């Protein structure tokens, strides 16, 4: 099993813990881990795409930044929903963007935002359904991504995530 797969399994276990009265710590870690499962799934693929199985892979994977990936995911999802809004970025894509890639990108942004709240915002109380929803959607993204990873737009997303696609067309 890959790190991403193990993290997904772990996030599901955390969401299901303490059936009668779930602990906030478990629910928060579940949401956070669901995000990291998707993050590592994408980063591992991206690093493989860029340098294959070479010894550089770990170093390349380490260079991916959460914020840059969020920006890339937002651009791709926005191009899918409202094409024409960012012609410079869209010049790198083949429109229309598939529904599957759009969903992966939306989920990446969403899970990252939830992860931030789960890890830092003590004013928010998480519920079990919120945690189960986050994990279930991460599972869905894990299923969708393999169908998108080799597409032109999937590769454009990876390159934009690595900040290798300039804003100039």
Partner 1 sequence: MYVLTQEVVAKLQRLPPGLDPAISRLDVSVQPDQNGEDILSFRVVLKGDLPETASADFGERLMRIASALRARAAQLEVPMFALVTFVHESEVRPRTSKTA
Q: Is 56 in the site for partner 1 (CB under 8 A)?
A: no
Closer to partner 1 by Cβ: residue 58 or 95: 95
Q: Is 103 in the site for partner 1 (CB under 8 A)?
A: yes
Task: Indicate the DSSP class of residue 168.
Answer: -
SS3 65: coil
- Cα angle vertex 105, ends 100, 108, to 5°? 125
Q: Is 94 in the site for partner 1 (CB under 8 A)?
A: no
Token pair in block for residue 97: 């963007």
Q: Is 162 in the site for partner 1 (CB under 8 A)?
A: no
Q: Is 148 in the site for partner 1 (CB under 8 A)?
A: no
**Cβ–Cβ < 8 Å for 160, 76:** yes
**Cβ–Cβ < 8 Å for 14, 27:** yes
Q: Is 69 in the site for partner 1 (CB under 8 A)?
A: no
Q: Is 16 in the site for partner 1 (CB under 8 A)?
A: yes
DSSP letter for each residue of 136-155:
HHHHHHHHHHHHHTTSHHHH
Q: Is 20 in the site for partner 1 (CB under 8 A)?
A: no
Residues that bind partner 1 (CB under 8 A): 11-12, 15-16, 19, 74, 81-82, 99, 102-103, 106-107, 109-110, 112-114, 116-117, 120, 127-130, 132-133, 135-143
């Amino acid at each position: 099993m890959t790190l991403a797969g193990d993290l997904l399994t772990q996030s599901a276990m955390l969401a299901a813990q303490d059936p009668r009265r779930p602990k906030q710590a478990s629910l928060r870690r579940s949401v956070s881990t669901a995000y990291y499962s998707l993050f590592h799934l994408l980063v591992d693929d991206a690093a493989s795409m860029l340098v294959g199985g070479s010894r550089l892979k770990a170093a390349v994977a380490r260079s991916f930044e959460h914020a840059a990936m969020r920006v890339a995911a937002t651009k791709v999802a926005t191009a899918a929903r409202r094409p024409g809004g960012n012609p410079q970025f869209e010049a790198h894509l083949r429109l229309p963007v598939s529904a599957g890639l759009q969903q992966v990108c939306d989920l990446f942004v969403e899970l990252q935002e939830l992860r931030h709240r789960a890890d830092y915002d003590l004013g928010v109380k998480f519920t079990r359904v919120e945690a189960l929803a986050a994990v279930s959607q991460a599972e869905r993204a894990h299923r969708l991504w393999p169908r998108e990873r080799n597409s032109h737009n999937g590769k454009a997303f990876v390159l934009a995530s690595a900040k290798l696609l300039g804003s100039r067309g």
